Amino acid sequence: MKARYFLLILGFCMTGTVLNADTTPPLAKQLPKELEIHGDKRVDAWYWLRERENPEVIAYLEAENAWVAAQLAHTDRFQNQLFEEMKGRIKEDDSTAPVRMGDYFYYERFEKGKEYPIYCRKQGSLEAPEEVYLDVNALAGDAEYYQVSGVQVSEDHKMLAYGVDTSGRRIYTVNFKNLETGETLDEVIADVTANQRWANDNKTLFYTRQDPETLRWDRIYRHTLGDVNEDPLVYEESDDTFYTWVGKTRDDSYILLVSGHTLFSEYRYVDANQPESAPVLFQPRERDHEYYIDFGGDRWYVMTNEKDAKNFKLMETPVDKTGQEHWKEVIAHRDDVLIEDFDVFADFVAVQEKYNGLTRIEILDRESADRHLIDFGEPTYAVDLGDNYEYHTKILRYDYESLTTPDSVYDYKIEERERTLVKEDPVLGGFNRDDYKADRVFATAADGTKVPVSLVYRKGMERNGKNPLLQYGYGSYGYSIDATFNSDRLSLLDRGFVFVIAHIRGGSEMGRYWYEDGKLLKKKNTFTDFIAVSEYLIEQGYTSPAHLYATGGSAGGLLMGVVVNMRPDLYNGIYTRVPFVDVITTMLDEDIPLTTGEYDEWGNPNDKEYYDYMLSYSPYDNVEAKHYPNMLVTTGLHDSQVQYWEPAKWVAKLRVHKTDDNRLLLKTNMSAGHGGASGRFQAIKETALNYAFIFDLEGIRE
């Protein structure tokens, strides 16, 4: 081990970086590059770290990895202990709840010691013999990274399409397998997304292709099995602020070609029984108008925010009259209820909503228009519409969990209004939910806004200011962070930690208004809300700055970068995964993924008003000479969403500017992307590293 560190260190020192094996972290060389716009000049000394193929860049990242290993070497045994502890809570030979699709029951199962799922099905009944139709473990072999996604079975259940990514960059190769013979076909579709749907002829697959540079999903093609000709282009999205993807109505009548943007959307549809027919436009796009559609046999259902219905309303329209002028209201807009999603069935519509920060499911009878809510009975929880593939059914499947209840699958009988537990994820290792308590409180932001806060801790916790506490937040894209269960988190709670979710603005926990109050020129509300929650937790005696830790990833990593610039005194440490921290430079570069489509989330810095505002909070641009908390930053070399160089540059700049002796660690997974490691156990090792980092700061060694 020491020899390996020596070789890494020696190789990097030859490029001019200062590094001592025992006492000095890597210092990436500085090659100042001047960036100018709107008459404002910024100098980026670490711009060169964007050169992914540059051996010096790889050497720097490897040196940082070696530094992490050296700095946390004394926690290696504890990391292994945590890994085994968290792994020990998993029932390794478990399976998912079977889902009915036609005459088959589909499910995934895992085998002891194996990293990846095995896709299975049974025909006719659950007592029928099992058929394994895709074993990802056998496919992956000893690959460092292997991800299967977009698993799609044809309507006659005879053909399988699935995407494989071996780099973590979410660029897939689509493979085909004959489920009758077990033969994997020679024909493949390379360098595409994993977004695909079968037409009803069981030989035509609609799929989405991305731009090779920006990775924007911009084209939909049609592939016919056995056809050696070039796949025809079905639809191309020319507006580079839009993404496009393919879907299918629940009753399998139509293939949906969707164009999506932060602020508006547009649908086209193709008869799934006539896949070569031309797409039909549903309703032309209009700025600030988002709509989502599904088909219900004799009519379309439309979820829309037209005419200032910010929280959305549900409409219906005849099958042949899709224009907005024909839409008829089914569920009206409500200022205090956000419609998040809906599923259409032959006799009812299930509507997923947010009310007062919690998700609820409302059932609408299509004939009588009567509506009722499903009751869940806990103060803080998470619920989602589950896997529902049968159109003609009287049963709704939904997923339920809470901070103390493991992920559970329920079947809800619509007419009887009764629910049946189908499966609850087992948690081994002596877990007893009665040992833990979940609370929901509200912190007050600087402008008087009440911010929901979900907490979980082991019973017996005293609010004496001495508890270690980990606070999590996200607050972007309108994505709500619900109070979900995580068995890994028990390793925190059982060692005295309080775990907190701050439901800050920028999400949609309190409705669409909550989202709009935390984006664009109001983005700073996201950061000050998180800080207000931290202050509240300290004031209420849950913790103190010496024991308070924070975490967030991706856009939540932006949150971490801003709060440590604004209030580094509040936190003893943070760990952040794939953080979006170089906001200005990234949003000015239209050649990298996730730029043009993000303008209506963050703003377009080509506009000086947005440039000035974004520059005022961009973590990388606001690093300065002062004390920072202990920090562990993780990333993936092949990340397609937040490029590895953002956290790498941020850490390099922090090393030069920070005035403290606190830890600053950068860990790069050299064979993964935005989602981290691909295997279920490899992912736990990453969690064990994060936990060991904060445990070590707390003096917890076992």
For the cut 80, the answer to whether the pLDDT of residue 385 exceeds it is yes
Assess if residue 600 is contained within a domain.
yes
Q: Is 289 left (phi over 0), alpha (psi -120 to 50) or beta?
A: beta
Are both 547 and 657 inside the same structural domain? yes
User: How long a stretch of residues is the chain?
Assistant: 702
Annotated active-site residue in 517, 621, 639, 696: 639
Q: Are residues 627 and 498 in the same domain?
A: yes
Active site annotation includes 639: yes
Residue 3: what pLDDT? Answer: 30
Comparing CA positions, the residue from 502, 454, 503, 453 lying closest to residue 478 is 503
Same domain, residue pair 457 and 424: no
Give the domain CATH number at 510.
Answer: 3.40.50.1820
The pLDDT value given to residue 683: 85
User: Nearest CA to 549 among 539, 538, 558, 541?
Assistant: 538
pLDDT attached to residue 263: 86
Of 383, 409, 429, which residue sits at a domain end? 429
Does the annotation count 435 as an active-site position?
no
pLDDT bin (cut points 50, 70, 90) of residue 15 is: very low
> Chain-wide mean pLDDT for the chain?
93
Is residue 20 over pLDDT 60? no
Average pLDDT over residues 389-398: 96
Distance between CA atoms of residues 74 and 634, nearest Å: 19
Q: Is residue 115 part of a domain?
A: no
Average pLDDT over residues 540-544: 98
Task: Output the CA angle 566-571-575, nearest 5 degrees.
Answer: 95
Which of 480, 487, 554, 678 is flagged as catalytic?
A: 554
pLDDT at 1: 27
What is the pLDDT confidence band of residue 567, given thresholds at 50, 70 and 90?
very high
Are 444 and 325 members of one domain?
Answer: no
Asked if residue 382 and residue 523 are part of one domain, the reply reads: no
Q: Are 395 and 508 part of one and the same domain?
A: no
Confidence check: pLDDT of 565 > 80: yes
How much of the chain exceeds pLDDT 90, in percent?
86
**443 and 339 fall within a common domain:** no
Please state whether beta strands 573-577 and 498-502 pair in parallel, antiparallel, or not at all (unpaired). unpaired
147 assigned to some structural domain: no
CA angle 122, 199, 286 (to 5 degrees): 125
Q: Are residues 493 and 604 in the same domain?
A: yes
Helix 76-87 / helix 680-698 crossing angle, nearest 10 deg:
130
Asked if residue 97 belongs to a domain, the reply is no
Residues 390 and 507 in one domain: no
CA nearest to 162, candidates 201, 226, 119, 124: 119
The 10s digit of each residue's pLDDT in 62-100 is: 999 999 999 999 999 999 999 999 999 999 999 999 999
pLDDT grade for 261, boundaries at 50, 70 and 90: confident
Q: Are residues 534 and 595 in the same domain?
A: yes
Out of 454, 674, 678, 696, pick the active-site residue: 674
Burial of 464 (0-12, 13-18, 19+ CB in 10 A): exposed
Tell which of 382, 403, 429 closes a domain: 429
Mean pLDDT, rounded, for 659-675: 87
Rounded CA-CA distance 371/381 in Å is: 22
pLDDT tens digits for range 286-344: 999 999 999 999 999 999 999 889 999 999 999 999 999 999 999 999 999 999 999 99
Per-residue HEC secondary structure of 575-591 comes to EEECCCCCHHHHHCCCC
pLDDT band at 694 (very low <50, low <70, confident <90, very high): very high
pLDDT band, residue 2 (cuts 50/70/90): very low
683: in domain = yes
Instruction: Return d(Cα 374, Cα 480) in angstroms, integer.
Output: 20
Q: Which domain holds residue 379?
A: 319-429
For the beta sheet containing 371-373, the strands, ordered from the edge strand earlier in sequence to the opposite edge, are 337-344, 348-355, 358-365, 371-373
Residues 332 and 453 in one domain: no
- Residues 78 and 84: their CA atoms lie apart, in Å, by 10
161 or 380, greater pLDDT: 161
168 pLDDT higher than 90: no
Dist CA 153 CA 289 (whole Å): 34
Residue 646 is assigned to a structural domain of this protein? yes
Residues 6+ apart with CB under 8 A from 376: 360, 383, 400
Q: Which amino acid is at 293?
A: I
pLDDT, residue 9, reads 30
pLDDT range class, residue 532, cuts 50, 70, 90? very high
Are 611 and 666 in a shared domain?
yes
From residue 516, alpha-carbon distances to 203, 448, 475 in Å are 43, 17, 11
Q: Pick the last residue of a domain from 381, 406, 429.
A: 429
The domain total for the chain is 2
Q: Which residue has the tokens 């580094």?
A: 568
Residue 554 designated active-site:
yes
Q: What are residue 37's phi and psi, to 5 degrees?
A: -160, 145
pLDDT exceeds 70 at position 675: no
> Has residue 367 been placed in a domain?
yes
In contact, 444 and 450? CB cutoff 8 Å: yes
